[in-house]
Structure 1
Amino acid sequence: MKKILTLTLCLALLLGLFSGCGGKRYDPLAGVETTVFTDDAGRDVTVPAGITRIAASGSTAQMILMTLVPELLVGLASSPSTAQRPYFPEEMWTLPTFGQFYGSKANLNMEALIDAEPQLIVDLGDAKENVRSDMDGIQKQTGIPTVFLEATLEEMPQAYRKLGRLLHREAEAEVLAVYLEQTLAMAAENSAKLPQDARKTVLFGTGATGLACNAEGSVQADVLSLVGAVNAIHSEEISNRNGGTTVNLEEVYACDPDVILLAAGGPYDTLAESEWSGLTAVKNGTYYEIPNLPYDWMSSPPSINRVLGIYWLGNLLYPELYDYDMVEKAQEFYRLFWHYELSAEEAEQLLARSTRKTRREGQ
């Protein structure tokens, strides 16, 4: 009898596990009107006609969806930190965390996803070679309609418009799409005015040492070329993950960049008293820490934050061309995209470590 009871209990547990984690507990298309949406992977996906519950495939998609339809998100790829929380609607602070759905950092919590019952999973980003099979795999694994929209910086305006049509937020999406188009046009116009000998070389370093660099050709570093700068780091093997391309200090001295950008958590505070001190950028005080709330303004992940990065970096490198008040630009962006009224004092605090230092004595 004990063996029978034990087997029965094990069977019940297994059934519960499969119903909770197998993506089959519910059918998001059952009993609802549907329509067919063609995504940017060329897939015809049947989706509910009226979508009220969505999930993001990862952090890049989450950021874009937060700017347009935060109220539709039923969970997050990553939960906000204490520092990020003020920029998130309070109702999002306690949403379940699903994790990353696919890729090298995949850590999907299937049970949390199924419990939240999203009607749609949205993936946004650059179109990788296997994007179609990735989307098919997620949809098969979860049983939830999954769509991909290309959201490189150049394609970002259209990504918003497509999201607007899909989620019935056309008017709101159009406002953001127009802002993005105007930003990209401004950057293209200003960059075209810069002769080659006026273009500043920039090292974009990440990590605790600053030596994990986003090299030329990396998606993480595309803001550099857009504003008219030259990436100081070139590599035959371009990495968009795990901090990019690792270099040594000797290589940094060999290129001796005009400007150094460091991600938060890097060696910004000690640069002038370290082995970096002989570099031209350090001597001239042209090294900066990238503002990073609610997300890094340049990358990590390379999402909508890069648009604000265009304004910031352009103004920093070429203020005669990118001629505006950066505090006011930050306030405008936060109001439009993060639905947050950023005060002038808050904006100045965000920018405090991204302003020029005075030249060191004796230089």
Structure 2
Amino acid sequence: MKIFLRIAAVLLALAAPAQAGDAPKPAREITDMAGHKLRVPDKITKVFSASYPLTTLMYVIAPDLLSAVNVPITDKQKPYFAPRLAELPAAGGTPGQNRAANPEEILALQPDVIVAWTDPMGGHPPAEQSWAQTGLPVIYMNVSRIDDYPAALDFLGDLLDRRARTDELKTYVVAALERVKTAVARVPPEQRAKLLYAESPDGLATECDSSFHMEAFRLAGGDSIYHCAQATHMGMEKISLEEIIARQPTLIVALDPKFKDFSAQAPEWRNVKAIAQGRVYTVPKLPFNWLDRPPSFMRVLGAQWLANIFYPQALPLDIKAETKTFYKLFFGVQLTDADVAQLLR
């Protein structure tokens, strides 16, 4: 009960400065990507992004409109973003995806709207209950699959009046996805890369092949050795070394950089051919993970990186040059050869 009284007080405080002659903001009706119809201001000047995958997209489309970030910008990330982002409060976000944002704190930031990610595992009741307390328009967007990004960019460009920016990003995304799909289609099913996604330092946490965490791997034509149904958002399914040896992945993609050294020195891993042959690749992580955690637009570059590793003849991509192109377009950063080498090491 106390939280509702505090929110009511905040709403009254925000309304207090309005004068009798003040006109309400002109509004328009939209339909969000979850099919909800709602009214939003004609011109949106401030946004609270409740979901990290969407917040990362806002970083490269409209950083000036963000009222807060979900998690603090790290020192390593700062060179890639507008300086103001590092000065914004870290307010959390959707319950179960981030530290839960406090509805009172959101109201105090005075955003025009909230944007939120449609739950990739279906439904979003906890989020809806949380955001309903603010009385603000909540706009749901779908970016669970990499193929969702062209439509999401169109939607966000129209919503925020940033269509010129979203159009140039969309052009790149569409071309990149088509390039990967065309290359993978040339590879017979029996020749698809058989892989282990090793997420923990010891290599014994992975993902189900159907998990949304594996989206970039599937797009790149990879076949995970761990076939199961995802049960939780977190994933990180346990797999034994005995199972890995029995299934013999032809290569391993490691989330934790410690795994490569650990597996090379651990005698029990020598029975895994991918380790013996040195076919272990560590996921690049700046400014975000290229594949997952968060599942962001970086997956567009990550899928190209994977497909080039899996099928270099089908996709003979100069990944260093492609990385420079991607970072220039999305982040406005001109990478040197040394920068790229550091990212890909």
Structure 1 length normalisation: TM-score? 0.86
Q: Is the 8 A contact 1:213 1:246 kept in 2?
A: yes
**1:257 correspondence with 2:255:** no
1:79 Cα offset (Å): 1.1
- The one-letter code of the counterpart of 1:140 is A
- The one-letter code of the counterpart of 1:122 is V
SS in 2 for 1:83: coil
**1:140 correspondence with 2:128:** no
294-303 vs 94-103, which deviates more? Answer: 94-103
Q: Is the 8 A contact 1:232 1:255 kept in 2?
A: yes
Deviations 1:281-340 (A, max 9, x none): 011110011000111111001121111101111111211122121111111111111222
Q: Is the 8 A contact 1:157 1:180 kept in 2?
A: yes
Q: Is the 8 A contact 2:308 2:317 kept in 1?
A: yes
**1:223 correspondence with 2:216:** yes
**1:123 correspondence with 2:111:** no
For the structure 1 residues 24 and 121, does the alpha-carbon distance in structure 2 shift closer, same or farther, using more than 3 Å as the test?
farther
Alignment RMSD: 2.4
Q: Is the 8 A contact 1:219 1:240 kept in 2?
A: no
* Cα distance in structure 2, aligned partners of 1:119 and 1:64: 18
- The one-letter code of the counterpart of 1:175 is E
* Cα distance in structure 2, aligned partners of 1:325 and 1:202: 22
* Cα distance in structure 1, aligned partners of 2:45 and 2:120: 26
Deviations 1:33-61 (A, max 9, x none): 11111112211111111011111112111
* Cα distance in structure 2, aligned partners of 1:16 and 1:295: 36
* Cα distance in structure 1, aligned partners of 2:337 and 2:112: 39
- The one-letter code of the counterpart of 2:35 is G
**1:279 correspondence with 2:267:** no
1:244 Cα offset (Å): 2.5
* Cα distance in structure 2, aligned partners of 1:21 and 1:79: 28
Task: Answer with 1 or 2: which has the greater Rg.
Answer: 1
1:249 Cα offset (Å): 0.9
For the structure 1 residues 327 and 125, does the alpha-carbon distance in structure 2 shift closer, same or farther, using more than 3 Å as the test?
farther
Match of 1:192 among 181, 185, 189: 185
* Cα distance in structure 1, aligned partners of 2:305 and 2:36: 37
Q: Is the 8 A contact 2:51 2:97 kept in 1?
A: no
* Cα distance in structure 2, aligned partners of 1:310 and 1:251: 26
**What aligned pairs does 1:10-49 form with structure 2 within 5 A after superposition?**
18-19=6-7, 25-26=13-14, 31-49=24-42
For the structure 1 residues 24 and 289, does the alpha-carbon distance in structure 2 shift closer, same or farther, using more than 3 Å as the test?
farther
Equivalent pairs counted in the alignment come to: 337
1:224 Cα offset (Å): 1.5
Q: Is the 8 A contact 2:120 2:212 kept in 1?
A: no
Deviations 1:62-109 (A, max 9, x none): 111112111111100111122222212211112001112233655213
**1:211 correspondence with 2:204:** yes
For the structure 1 residues 21 and 157, does the alpha-carbon distance in structure 2 shift closer, same or farther, using more than 3 Å as the test?
farther
Q: Which residue of 1 aligns with 2:167?
A: 174
**1:246 correspondence with 2:259:** no
Q: Is the 8 A contact 1:20 1:114 kept in 2?
A: no
Percent identity over paired residues: 27
- The one-letter code of the counterpart of 1:338 is F
SS in 2 for 1:32: coil
Instruction: Give the unaligned 5+ runs of structure 2.
Output: none
